Structure 1
Amino acid sequence: MTDWAWDYNPSQEYVIDGLPVGVVAEVERLATELPALGDEATRVGRPIDREGGLREFDILGGRGFICFLAVPRHTCVYVCNVTWYG
């Protein structure tokens, strides 16, 4: 278990406002699991050829994706954007 946490960046309203409840639940489920990886969260998702920076992860079978930023010095994963194709 790590001491990492997660949060929305810049705000919860900006990132998930207007999304269906099921999509929000999936985003928050993933956001809860990513901090458990600790420093490894900088390596999961796309792009696969480098670590750090803004990362992407498909959600709900490719019907959308989340963008997140894992910041080791803050020990936090920030969910920055959610794209939902519906």
Structure 2
Amino acid sequence: MTWSWEYVPDEETVAAGAPTAFLAEVEKKADELVRAAEVLHLHGAGYQGADEGAKHAFVAGGFFVYMVTPRSELVSIWQITPDPLT
């Protein structure tokens, strides 16, 4: 298995109407989170602990809610919130 990230339930639902530049920042940060999770959870599929729960990541133009699931080797993005002032 290989670590990855995805929008949950899907990109169309989560990212609908978000500015392109903001989405680029979200996806850049998601790539960083995947690399960090891969290092932190070297044996992700065999992970026995509890998931870390939902977290927030702040990027230029807003923030997003994500969760790291080591057993699935997945970073899932549930919600994105663009800053209405940008």
Q: Please give the range of the TM-score, normalised by the shorter of the 2 chains.
A: 0.7 to 0.9
Sequence identity percentage: 30
Give the Cα–Cα distance (whole angstroms) in 1 for the partners of residues 23 and 52 of structure 2.
24
Name the counterpart of 1:14.
13
TM-score by length of 1: 0.76
CA RMSD of aligned residues (A): 1.8
Matching of residues 1-86 of structure 1 within 5 Å: 3-38=2-37, 40=40, 52-60=52-60, 63-86=61-84
Give the Cα–Cα distance (whole angstroms) in 2 for the partners of residues 85 and 38 of structure 1.
27
Gaps of 5+ in 1: 42-50
Give the Cα–Cα distance (whole angstroms) in 1 for the partners of residues 33 and 63 of structure 2.
14
Cα drift, residue 13 of structure 1: 0.6
- Segment of structure 1 superposing worse, 17-26 or 32-41: 32-41
Structure 1 residue ranges (4+ consecutive) displaced by more than 3 angstroms after TM superposition: none
Greater Rg over alpha carbons, structure? 2
Gaps of 5+ in 2: 42-50
Q: What amino acid does structure 2 have at the position aligned with 1:69? A: M
Give the Cα–Cα distance (whole angstroms) in 2 for the partners of residues 32 and 82 of structure 1.
15
Cα drift, residue 37 of structure 1: 1.0
Q: What amino acid does structure 2 have at the position aligned with 1:71? A: T
Cα drift, residue 59 of structure 1: 1.3
